[in-house]
Amino acid sequence: MESFSSLHRRDFLKSVTVAAAGLAAGLPDVARAQTASKLNLKLGLDNFAVRAFDYKAEELITYAASLKTDSLFITDLKPFKSLETGYLQDLKKRAADEGLQIQLGSWSICPTSKSFRKDWGTAEEHLALGIKAARDLGSSVFRVVLGAADDRKTPGGIEARMADTAKVCKALKSQAVDAGVKIAIENHAGDMQARELVRLIEEAGKDYVGANIDPGNATWTMEDPVAHLEILGPYVLTSSMRDSMIWESANGGTVQWTAIGEGVVDFQTYFKRYAQLCPHAPVHIETISGFAREFPYFKNDFWTPYSDVRAEDFAKFVALTKKGKQIPPFRGNKDAEKAYQKGELERSLTRCKEMGLGLKS
């Protein structure tokens, strides 16, 4: 099917509407947790799911162990009291004693991204620090991001930011390979679609660079998470996951992230396919819920940063808008926020276990 750039906007939206209607008719009902055959997938949590608690690494290990998870994904460096080798190796042992693996991550390594911060030095210094810390912690990956949706509107668009990110990865290739650590780039906050992230990985070098897949963020680039997995799955090293409720709204479609099993994503299908495409990549739950984002694709100026969107991909997203319904946002004080975050995470883990995920009983 032709790309958006080769289609008149009206014809593009018309073709998508027709395709989406057919897709929506064939979609299964919203997946609900139910007893299923065992999937040989590690199950864990991303610490950002319980960000309101400001847990230190030691507390995260204790919490993850209490939930009988297999893996703990610490996706920023702030929970660590130190990044010295001895301290990180002690944490590795503590986690192993609890039957947990630890994976490590941080934030933007694209020096020209609007999201980049110099908290850890230059982009190259940040990546080098992360690779070393991952090695000391026993993490086979170091998760990074390019940026966010606003980077699509910067000079040169997302392609220029992808080139800048690939350049940083290439500069640290030998360090990553020597450390036995692979760089896992996330599709993050609306920055890249699956096809774009694949191009970045291929440009940097798929022998030492792969993906941290996030189906919630896929909906922020107007992708159906199941279709997104088909494209990105062969490159996946690790994950950060949540569900999405998606509905039709006045100017296009609206997304609100939710706990697993409370949105429109067919996670029964998703996890079965995940186990086939990337069986060694743990499933980490990263619930971020309680607020909605509209994608006003009926407006002319919306499409400027998305000139390469394929109608066939977009139609699958529009089909999801026809399955969902509007849900209320979350409002509450700090204590209520903590309870809300734990509830979202723990319900998600329970449903995942009921769908056959996790190695522990």
* Domain residue limits, the chain: 4-354
Per-residue pLDDT of the chain (361 residues; tens, 9 = 90+): 444 444 455 555 565 665 666 666 665 554 444 445 899 999 999 999 999 999 999 999 999 999 999 999 999 999 999 999 999 999 999 999 999 999 999 999 999 999 999 999 999 999 999 999 999 999 999 999 999 999 999 999 999 999 999 999 999 999 999 999 999 999 999 999 999 999 999 999 999 999 999 999 999 999 999 999 999 999 999 999 999 999 999 999 999 999 999 999 999 999 999 999 999 999 999 999 999 999 999 998 999 999 889 999 999 999 999 999 999 999 999 999 999 999 999 999 999 999 999 999 6
Give the full edge-to-edge strand order of the sheet including 243-249. Answer: 243-249, 252-258, 292-295
Q: In the beta sheet, which residues pair with residue 295?
A: 253
| Residue pair 344/265 in contact by the 8 Å Cβ criterion | no
In 3D space, the residue among 50, 69, 144 whose CA is nearest the CA of residue 342 turns out to be 50
The pLDDT assigned to 307 comes to 82
Residues in the chain: 361
What's the confidence (pLDDT) of residue 311?
Answer: 93
pLDDT for the residue numbered 3? 46
- The pLDDT score that the predictor gives to residue 11 is 59
pLDDT score, position 13: 58
- Rg of the chain, C-alpha, whole Å: 20
Pick the CATH number of 4-354 from 3.30.70.940, 3.40.50.2300, 3.20.20.150, 3.30.300.130: 3.20.20.150
* Residue 174 CB burial class (10 angstroms; 0-12, 13-18, ≥19): exposed
Element containing residue 185 per DSSP (H, E): strand 182-186
pLDDT of residue 10: 55
Distance CA 36, CA 12 (A): 40
Residue 330: exposed, middle, or buried by beta-carbon count in 10 A (0-12, 13-18, 19+)? middle
Predicted local distance difference test score (pLDDT) of residue 19 = 61
String of b and e for 219-235 (b: at least 16 CB within 10 Å)?
A: bbbbbbbbbbbebbbeb
Q: Provide the pLDDT for residue 246.
A: 98
Helices 194-204 and 225-232: crossing angle in degrees, nearest 10, is 20
pLDDT score for 5: 46
**Token pair in block for residue 25:** 């008719």
SS3 (DSSP) at 251: coil
What is the predicted pLDDT for the residue at 245? 98
Hey, how many other C-beta atoms are within 10 angstroms of the C-beta on 22?
10
